[in-house]
Homo-oligomer: A and B are copies of this chain.
Amino acid sequence: MHTAIRPIDNGVNVTALLDAREALSQAPEAARFNWRASCDWIRGTHSRHTIEGFHGLGEPQRHRRRFTFDSDHPEVFASEDQGPTPVEYVLVGLAGCLTAGIAAVAQHRGIQLHSVKASVEGSMDIQGILGMDSEVRNGFDDVRVTFDIDAEASREEIAALVAQSQKRSAVFDLLTNPTQVSVRLA
């Protein structure tokens, strides 16, 4: 059986994650993380974003490099389309979170993944953001994620991977449950 002669490797270090869980159970304060982004307005609806530092394990942390991104609105909104829209960044976060979780859960369960593709779609009635109808919300009214997964497992096992990832996903939680957001002037 070819699955028996090579180890399962999805590139996730499950041992390190289990060790971290054990270490954090002794020092739960270290589990408090702060994630950060900064944003500079360029012009119109175009902004530039920087991600570099965060806080966790009780001390300041840094990504290996600084990441920068532009956001904008598209030409159909009379903008210059210098980057994805803000809501598309949210879809990127959702797909990335669920996919990383699938890889981690698969590794933990000994399931070899070959490919994972996600398509995410969020529908919105822009009468909300345009202030045309106060009954229409600003955000998505519905978000749909479709996974196409090739793995050495049955369809039921693959469905269970997706379900477990969803259960532990930070971004899935952020979208489906309300979060306190405060906005203030410096």
Contacts and interface: CB of A to CB of B under 8 A. Distances in A.
Q: Chain A binding site: helix, strand, loop or mixed by DSSP?
A: mixed
Contacts of A44: 10-13, 100, 103
Contact of A90 (B10, B73, B76, B89): B89
B180 A143 contact: yes
Contact of A71 (B100, B173, B186): B100
A102 interface: yes
10 contacts: A12-B78, A37-B119, A63-B84, A67-B84, A83-B96, A89-B89, A137-B173, A137-B177, A139-B177, A172-B181
A113 to B, nearest CB: 7
A26 to B, nearest CB: 11
Interface string A143-186: 11111110000010011001000101111111111111111111
A94 B174 CA distance: 12
